[in-house]
Structures are given as structure tokens and as C-alpha cells.
Amino acid sequence: MVQDRDFVIELDGQPGSYRLHVSSPAGDDSVDLDFDPASLGVDLDALQVRVLASAASSRAVVPELERPLRKVGQALFAAVFQASSGALFLSSRNDVERAGGRLRIVLRLHPAELAVLPWELMLSDHYGGYLCRRSSMVRYVEAPEPLQPLTVAPPLRVLGMTALPAELAPLDAEAEQHRIRQLLAPPPLEARGLVKFDWVPG
């Protein structure tokens, strides 16, 4: 079974001296970034409104609403995917997809001023548009204190709901539910009644 592979983007440092570390199936790289978050002029509240509006609007209106999102996404892409890291990303994605897997982008963002930026908007027309539409994207957030294990009396009951906005194409919910079952409750655990699932229609 082919497994998904990770393309890890780690950013640390401070304003004026950020450092980018990339770890990928195609190799690793570290470079200094000449990047000023303030130059983006990102208004997070306004971007959120536009994202929600573009999802609910007709196709004719979406391009106009999307223009500021694309501008921010292109700037974020340009900041991270410079010559060397961009080549590693393309090579990793091609190799993983050729083997039947999928490349996952993992973001480790240490400076607070970088963590609040909407990296999920990263896009490049040359790389196929929004990166998150082809490669899943996750953020790793450092917890200030270790988490205490949660103790529950079995069975562990998991309630899941699938978001199915009428304006968007339907999701492959059954496949996602299967993956969740495999992760949280391998067949032996579920067979013994230690984990039970309930799914709510979106």
C-alpha cells in the first residue's frame, strides 16, 4: 500500500532574519528569507469574508471576490517556494503521485506573526493553482505544555459530520470515513466494541 509523504515547511527566526527549512522526499534545504509579513497588507477579517462570499456566490461573481485572495496566495507562495525549495516541491510531488500516493504539505510556523498568515491560500498557476486543492495541508502547532492523556471508559464514542455545502461539489465522504475508522479504530478494536462511530449527514 502506497503511503502519503510529507513536504515539511518550517519557518523560524524573527522579522528581518527568517529562516526556511524544507524537508521532503526529494531532499532537504535551508535558506534565509527576505520576507516582510507587513508588506502583504493582510486583513484577516476581510479575507475571511471574501472566502465565505466566494463559496456562496455565483460563478460570475467569484473571480472578482477571489482576486485579493489570489494576490495574497501568490505572495505567500513566492516567499517560500524560491528556486531550490520550488524544485524540491515539484520533484517530490511528481515522484509521490507517480507511485500512486499523495504529497502532504506540513507547516511548522514558529514566529507568531507568520503563524497567523493564511498559508492555505498559497497558489501558483505554474504549479496548478491553489496548492491545497491538490496536496492536503496541515499545520503543526507547538503546545506550551505537554497534554495530559484523556481517560475514558469504553466504548469511546466518535461523532462525525460531513460538511456538504449545496453550492460545492460533493465530497467522497465514505472514503474519508473509512480512513478515520482505520486511524482511530483498527478492526480488532472496533470488533471488541471499544470504539463506536456515528455519522451525521451534512
Instruction: Confirm if 169 and 136 have CB atoms less than 8 A apart.
Output: no
Nearest one of 178, 95, 184 to 135, comparing CA atoms: 95
- How would residue 202 be classed by pLDDT, with cut points 50, 70 and 90? low
pLDDT per position as a tens digit, 26-67: 999 999 988 888 877 777 666 666 666 655 554 555 567 678
CA distance 89 to 127: 10
Any idea which residue has 471499544 for its cell? 194
Helix (H, G, I), strand (E, B) or coil at 4: coil
pLDDT per position as a tens digit, 93-134: 999 999 989 999 999 999 988 988 889 889 998 888 999 888
Instruction: Confirm if 118 and 51 have CB atoms less than 8 A apart.
Output: no
